[in-house]
Structure formats: C-alpha cells, structure tokens
Amino acid sequence: RTKRQAISAEPTALDPSQLTHITLTNYSKSEESRELIQRALLENDFMKHLDHGQILTIVDCMHPTRVARGCCVIQEGDDGSLVYVLEEGKVEVTKAGTKLCTMDPGKVFGELAVLYNCTRTATVTALTDIKLWAIDRQGFQTIMMRTGLIKQSLYLELLRSVPSFQSLPEDVLSKVADVLEETHYSESEYIIRQGATGDTFFIISQGQVRVTRQKSTSEEPEFLTTLTRGEWFGEQALKGEDVRTASVTALGRVTCLVVDRESFMHLTGGLDDVNSKPYESDDIKAKLEAESVFFSCLS
Ligand code: CMP
C-alpha cells in the first residue's frame, strides 16, 4: 500500500475547501463534439443527474486524446484518473478475460473508478484507432463538488466583487447568492434584446458579452462596450425599468447569474447606485434621451 501511494501520480479525494481555488482549463472543441459529449454524459446513469452547469463545465474541460487500435485504454485493477467519452471508433470492455460489451461513439467509460475512488472495474481496449475526450480526476471532482455550499461561496465572492453590492450587509448578500440562477449562452446568442420587456438583472460569471444600442430602427446598432466576469447588466430592471435599453449578446460561451426584480427588491430594498456603471456615468443622460427617441420611433 505504501509503495502504491508513493508511485501513484494520482491525487486522491480532494479537500472541498480547496475546490474554489482550483482553476479549470477549457479546451476548444467543435459544436458537434460538444453535443456528442453532452449527450454521452446525459445518457450515462452515473452522470445524468448532474446539473446543467456541471455538464457544460465538464464539456468545456475535456481534452482530446487518441489511442491506436489494439491498445489498452484502461486496465482492470489499475488506479484510474481519467473519465473518457468515445468520439470515434470502437472499444471492447472485458472483465477477468470475459467480454462484457463493445462501445460505439457517444459513450462514457472510466467513470466508476473516478466517481467511487476505486480501482478500474474492467479493461477497455481499442478495437480500432479511436478518438477520445478525457477529463482528469481533479477536474472532474472539482466540478462534481462545486455544488451547494461551494457554489454559494463562489456566488458570494462574485457578488462581493460588484462595486454596487459592496455596501450591502453580508447576510443580505448571502440571501441574494441563494436566489441567483445560473444561465448559459452560446456565441452570438442574445441575452437581452433592446426594446424587449424584462425584469432580470445579470452578473457575468464566465465569459464576455457585447453591449449595443440602436438609436432608431433604421440605424445600425452602435457598439457601447464589452463586459466581462464580475460585471453586470440589466440593472435598469432592478430600478423599475421594464423595457431593455440596450442589447447584450454573448461573445463566445457565457455563464450569467440572474436575479429578478421582485426577489432582489425583497432581499435588499433596492440599490441607489446600481446604475452608475463607468460606461454609463458621463453619457447616460444622452443615451437615455436617444433611447426615448428610439422607443417613440417604434410606437
Ligand atoms: P472504470 O471502472 O473506471 O474503468 C473501466 C470501465 O469500464 C468502467 O469504469 C465503466 O465505464 C466500464 N464498465 C465496467 N463494467 C461495465 C459493464 N458491465 N458494462 C459496460 N461498461 C462497463
């Protein structure tokens, strides 16, 4: 046992308190690959109950790897550190020399040893050259355990970084963190459309967004700014404004934390300075005037 521990490169179970500080690495992949991985995870009995955000984070963090025909991907009895999704080719699963099954693209394997901290329960061999996506134990466990309290503490950290929220007492911030909902967007997706009604406020938890405003229906949208993690938008809604004053679209993949006006007002009693963002400070009046011209054009 001592020898095994000494030679194992694998981290054992993680201390949950470390999980907020582990940086997860994203690997770029095509939309087809993303969908294949997501479907594979949702079809796997041990993974399908993960929440949507966790599934998307696993998809983001999986890295590509290839194994040649005839090679062993997983050896029964070994310590295992990777969970795989098969993208191309075929594998065979055997246990004590007996064939259990073959697997085609779109299947997860190698999850048991990582989920249950046990040795590999079967051998997996490549029947053809295969292409795989893989995630290591540390990344996987980090994502699995970033639920409940850990998520709450991450949200709280993010809320504290929003300047307008810094004046709110800790217990109020904590209640706001409880009601935040995670939403996910893909490249170019509209998060907010100018002119639409809405009563939600967004804080960017991952990625970047682009803010544009159209002075009139006949003009091209004017670029206002890009916003990134820790910045927010949709704040007019928290101040009682129902009609969106600008459009916000995702630049790449974006995760936002969302709260609606009723919950926010109920918990905080409102904020005085929530609309004093830097990009609005000097020209807010001119923009709001331009906006009322825009809306009068629409009516
Ligand atoms: P793990 O034990 O980490 O490594 C071997 C993998 O083979 C295991 O995870 C499962 O993904 C897969 N496996 C084990 N038993 C079976 C089975 N009876 N049918 C299909 N796949 C299996």
Phi, psi of 133 (to 5 degrees): -110, 140
Which amino acid residue places its CA nearest to atom 1 of ligand 1?
A: 110
Distance, CA of 146 to CA of 151 (rounded, Å): 5
Distance of CA 10 from the midpoint of ligand 1 (Å): 19
pLDDT at 148 (0 to 100): 59
Residue in this structure with the two tokens 């007019």, named with its chain if needed? 236
Which amino acid residue places its CA nearest to atom 18 of ligand 1?
A: 100
For ligand 1, what atom is nearest to the CA of residue 80?
Answer: 3
ipTM: 0.94
User: Residue 202's closest CA among 282, 259, 274?
Assistant: 259
- HSE-CB at 63 with a 13 A cutoff on CA atoms is 10
Distance, CA of 224 to CA of 244 (rounded, Å): 14
pLDDT at 105 (0 to 100): 98
Distance of CA 65 from the midpoint of ligand 1 (Å): 19
Which amino acid residue places its CA nearest to atom 14 of ligand 1?
A: 122
Distance of CA 76 from the midpoint of ligand 1 (Å): 9
Q: Which two tokens stand for residue 268?
A: 């905080």
For ligand 1, what atom is nearest to the CA of residue 123?
Answer: 5
Q: Letter for the amino acid at 133?
A: W
Distance of CA 110 from the midpoint of ligand 1 (Å): 6
Distance, CA of 64 to CA of 134 (rounded, Å): 6
Distance of CA 5 from the midpoint of ligand 1 (Å): 23
pLDDT tens string, the chain, 299 residues long: the values are 233 333 333 344 455 555 556 678 899 999 999 999 999 999 998 888 888 888 998 999 999 999 999 999 999 999 989 999 999 999 999 999 999 999 999 999 999 999 888 899 999 999 999 999 999 998 988 887 766 566 777 888 888 887 767 778 888 888 888 788 889 999 999 999 998 888 888 999 889 999 999 988 888 899 999 999 888 888 776 666 678 889 999 999 999 999 888 887 777 765 554 444 444 445 444 544 444 444 343 33
Distance of CA 132 from the midpoint of ligand 1 (Å): 16
Distance, CA of 22 to CA of 113 (rounded, Å): 21
Phi, psi of 257 (to 5 degrees): -105, 130
The pocket around ligand 1, CB under 6 angstroms, is made up of 74, 80, 93, 100-101, 109-113, 120-122, 124
3-state secondary structure of 267: helix
Q: Are the C-beta atoms of 59 and 38 separated by less than 8 Å? A: yes
For ligand 1, what atom is nearest to the CA of residue 95?
Answer: 15
pLDDT at 166 (0 to 100): 76
pLDDT at 216 (0 to 100): 85
Question: The dihedral of CA 194, 198, 203, 206: what is its sign?
Answer: negative
Distance of CA 95 from the midpoint of ligand 1 (Å): 9
pLDDT at 144 (0 to 100): 77
Distance, CA of 244 to CA of 213 (rounded, Å): 10
User: Residue 272's closest CA among 168, 154, 141?
Assistant: 168
For ligand 1, what atom is nearest to the CA of residue 120?
Answer: 2
Q: Letter for the amino acid at 278?
A: P
Q: Which two tokens stand for residue 33?
A: 């690959």
